Chains A and B, each alone.
Chain A
Amino acid sequence: MKNQVKLARVKVDLTQQQLADIVGITRQTVSLIEKGKYNPSLKLCLQICYAVNAKLDEIFWIEKEDFE
C-alpha cells in the first residue's frame, strides 16, 4: 500500500538501516514498506510513526478514491 514513510524518514534524516534498527526490523522490510510491497501491522506502523515523529494519518493515510 502506498505510504509516505520514505518522505518522513528523509525529513528526520534517517537512513533505512537506522530506521530499521530503531523499530527492530530489517532494512529489507523498511525498503518493502516504502515501496508499498509489504503492509505492516498497525503496531509496526505506530512504531515507525514514533521513530519519524509523525502522526499515523500523515504517513499511512490514503484517500478513498486512491484506495484501490
Chain B
Amino acid sequence: MKKITDERLILRNLQNTRIAYVVQTIGILCILGYNFFQGGLEKMRENPLWLVLILTTVVYFYLSMSVSVEHERKIKNPMRSFLAGLIVLIIAVVAVGYLVSITPNFSSLNGLFLGAVLFICSFIPLYYVYRLRVKHAKELEEE
C-alpha cells in the first residue's frame, strides 16, 4: 500500500480514528454496563475489557495533561505549584492512612499500604505535570 502524503487525507484519517475510538468506547461501556446489571460490580471487573477501559482512560488523562499545561495562560512557578501539590497530597495521604487504620477490621498496616498506594498514584501525575510545566517554561524562555 502506498503511503498517504496528502495532508487533507491524513487529517481525515485522524478524524476517522477519533470516531472509531468513540464508537469503541461506547461499545466497551455497553458491554461493561450489561455485565454490571447481570452480576454486579464483581462480574464487571472480571471482564478484561474493564482493564482496557481503565488503561485507555489513564493514557488519555496523561495525554490531556500536556494540552492543559499549554492551555494555562498565566505562567506559574512550576516548583511552587509542585511543592504546594505535594504538601496537600501528603496531608491527604496521612489523613486517609490514619482514618483507615482506626477503622474497625483494618490494621495500621492496611492504613500504611493504602496511604502508600494513594501517594504513588497521585505523585506520578503531580510530577508529570511539574515536568511538563518546566519543559513549557523552558520553551517559552527560548523564544
Residues of chain A whose beta carbon lies under 8 Å from any beta carbon of chain B: 24-26, 28-29, 32, 38, 40-41, 43-44
Residues of chain B whose beta carbon lies under 8 Å from any beta carbon of chain A: 5-9
Complex Cα–Cα for A43 and B5 (A): 12
Interface of B, secondary structure class, is: helix
Interface of A, secondary structure class, is: loop
Complex Cα–Cα for A25 and B6 (A): 4
Q: Which residues of B contact A25 (CB under 8 A)?
A: 5-8
Asked if residues A26 and B7 are in contact (CB atoms below 8 Å), the reply is: no
Q: List 21 A-B contacts (CB under 8 A).
A: A24-B5, A24-B6, A25-B5, A25-B6, A25-B7, A25-B8, A26-B6, A26-B8, A26-B9, A28-B8, A29-B6, A29-B7, A29-B8, A29-B9, A32-B8, A38-B8, A40-B7, A40-B8, A41-B7, A43-B7, A44-B7
Q: How far is the CB of A36 from chain B (nearest CB, A)?
A: 14
Chain A to chain B: the 8 pairs with minimum beta-carbon distance, closest first: A25-B6, A24-B5, A29-B8, A26-B6, A29-B6, A38-B8, A41-B7, A44-B7
Complex Cα–Cα for A25 and B5 (A): 6
Complex Cα–Cα for A28 and B9 (A): 10
Q: How far is the CB of B102 from chain A (nearest CB, A)?
A: 61
Q: How far is the CB of B9 from chain A (nearest CB, A)?
A: 7
Query: Closest residue to A32 on the B side, CB-wise?
Result: B8
Complex Cα–Cα for A32 and B5 (A): 16
Given contacts A24-B6, A26-B9, A40-B7, list 5 more A-B pairs with CB under 8 A.
A24-B5, A25-B5, A29-B8, A32-B8, A40-B8
Complex Cα–Cα for A18 and B8 (A): 18
Complex Cα–Cα for A4 and B95 (A): 67
